[in-house]
């Protein structure tokens, strides 16, 4: 510790001969890397007029615009299944838009939501069928 203080003191005294060791890059996290500390993961089942009306396509457009990630697919029972992950505020904004049907021809009658930490964390939004 005394060595550290002597290096600092020599810098303030104008002694430029001594070098201070840089902070190891292995101890820092780059600004552009996700930290995954604050990710919300939600599963949605959307019912109504949501198949054959461009619902999956417009859902992907909404996800890309807001900046959330996940999947959307049609189910055999006529509903649409969505998994979404991302910043909690962005996920909430996404859900609100889905409740009002992103497709002009669609109509959402009911949305079932389930927050589930075990949902796979994705880095893009995809239509899976």
Q: What is the pLDDT along the chain (129 residues), one digit of tens a residue?
A: 556 556 556 555 655 454 444 444 444 444 444 445 689 999 999 999 999 999 999 999 999 999 999 999 999 999 999 999 999 999 999 999 999 999 999 999 999 999 999 999 999 999 998
**Residue 65 annotated as catalytic:** no
Residues 6+ apart with CB under 8 A from 18: 7, 10, 11
Q: How far apart are CA 70 and CA 18, in angstroms?
A: 52
Name the catalytic one among 74, 76, 85, 129: 74
Active-site annotation holder among 56, 76, 122, 129: 56
9 domain residue, yes or no: no
In a domain, 105, yes or no: yes
User: Is 86 inside a domain boundary?
Assistant: yes
> Pairing mode, if any, of strands 80-86 and 40-49?
antiparallel
Q: Which domain holds residue 69?
A: 40-127
Q: Would you state the pLDDT for residue 104?
A: 93
Domain-embedded: residue 91 = yes
Cα distance between residue 101 and residue 19, in whole Å: 61
Active site residue 56: yes
Number of domains in the chain: 1
- Kindly state whether residue 55 falls inside one of the protein's structural domains: yes
Q: Which two tokens stand for residue 119?
A: 């949902």
Is residue 13 a part of any domain in this protein? no
- State the Cα–Cα distance between residues 79 and 81, nearest whole angstrom: 7
Q: How far apart are CA 92 and CA 94, in angstroms?
A: 5
119 belongs to a structural domain: yes
With respect to residue 29, please indicate whether it lies within any of the assigned structural domains: no
Q: What crossing angle do the helices spanning 55-66 and 88-99 adopt, rounded to 10°? A: 150
- Any idea what the CATH number is for the domain that residue 109 is in? 3.30.70.100
């Amino acid at each position: 510790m005394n060595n550290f203080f002597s290096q600092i003191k020599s810098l303030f005294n104008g002694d430029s001969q001594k070098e201070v060791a840089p902070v190891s890059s292995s101890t820092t996290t780059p600004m552009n890397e996700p930290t995954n500390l604050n990710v919300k993961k939600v599963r949605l089942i959307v019912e109504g007029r949501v198949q054959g009306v461009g619902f999956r396509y417009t859902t992907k457009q909404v996800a890309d615009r807001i900046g959330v990630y996940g999947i959307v697919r049609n189910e055999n029972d006529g509903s649409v299944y969505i998994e979404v992950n991302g910043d909690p505020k962005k996920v909430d904004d996404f859900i609100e838009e889905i409740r009002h049907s992103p497709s002009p021809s669609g109509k959402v009658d009911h949305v079932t939501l389930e927050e589930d930490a075990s949902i796979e964390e994705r880095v893009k939004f995809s239509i899976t069928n």
